[in-house]
Amino acid sequence: MSGSNILFQLTGSIACYKACSVISKLVQDGFTVKTAATESALRFIGPATLEGLTREPVYADLFEGRKALEHVELTQWYDLAIVCPATANILGKFAGGIGDDCVSTLFLAHDFKKPFLIAPAMNSRMLAHPAVQRSISVLKGWGVSVLGTGTGRQACGDSGPGRMLEPGEIHAAILKALKA
């Protein structure tokens, strides 16, 4: 379904660099991609990269004048939303109904008739933590597609599950969800 609108959201993980290749591929496919990012995500990757890839402004600050109330319009605009990479923190906020930044507030306005994908990225101990497992279970129960993770060496030096899926796998999951 090239021509669909995708909201691509990033949270604070080293895997933000991998997310950029997914965004680039989606733009090349002909999708219109807008990005939203947490403050932490913007410490891993700059807004210039996201804006350069998408030719669209990044949504990061709910209170930025020009963008006030655009978050509700944004949730009506997209055909699919994805959080990639998704931190342990954002999973907990989503599952707890917290909306204290742009990404978590957008989720509270999500229409569950549309696909919402999450690509977790974290240390294997964080992934195994009962708080994170509970968040994933709550989100799946609401109909969110929580993608798996890969196993292997992590940025912290540990090895195990929790590595974000590779860009090609995430791209394929998005196309599948859009039936493109």
Ligand X SMILES: Cc1cc2nc3c(=O)[nH]c(=O)nc-3n(C[C@H](O)[C@H](O)[C@H](O)COP(=O)(O)O)c2cc1C
**Concatenated DSSP letters for 132-170?**
HHHHHHHHHHTT-EE---EEEE-TTS-EEEEEPPPHHHH
In this structure, the number of other CB atoms found within 10 A of the CB of residue 16 comes to 23
Q: Determine the longest span between alpha carbons in the chain, in angstroms.
A: 44
Whether 156 is a known active-site residue: answer yes
> Exactly one of 16, 84, 102, 156 is catalytic; which is it?
156
Peptide bond just before 130 cis, omega within 30 deg: no
**Is residue 149 involved in binding ligand X (CB under 6 A)?**
no
Name the one residue in this structure whose structure tokens are 């497992």: 133
User: Which of residues 88, 146, 165, 177 is near ligand X by CB under 6 A?
Assistant: 88
Q: Which one, of 3, 5, 19, lies nearest residue 168 by Cα?
A: 19
Nearer to ligand X, 13 or 75 (CB): 13
Q: Which one, of 129, 115, 135, lies nearest residue 161 by Cα?
A: 129
User: Which of residues 5, 21, 40, 124 is near ligand X by CB under 6 A?
Assistant: 40
User: Which of residues 45, 80, 83, 90 is near ligand X by CB under 6 A?
Assistant: 90
Interface with ligand X by CB under 6 A: which range of 10-18, 65-73, 74-82, 105-113? 10-18
**Is residue 147 involved in binding ligand X (CB under 6 A)?**
no
Nearer to ligand X, 13 or 54 (CB): 13
User: Which residues are known to be catalytic?
Assistant: 156
Q: Which residues bind ligand X (CB under 6 A)?
A: 11-15, 38, 40-41, 87-90, 121-122, 126
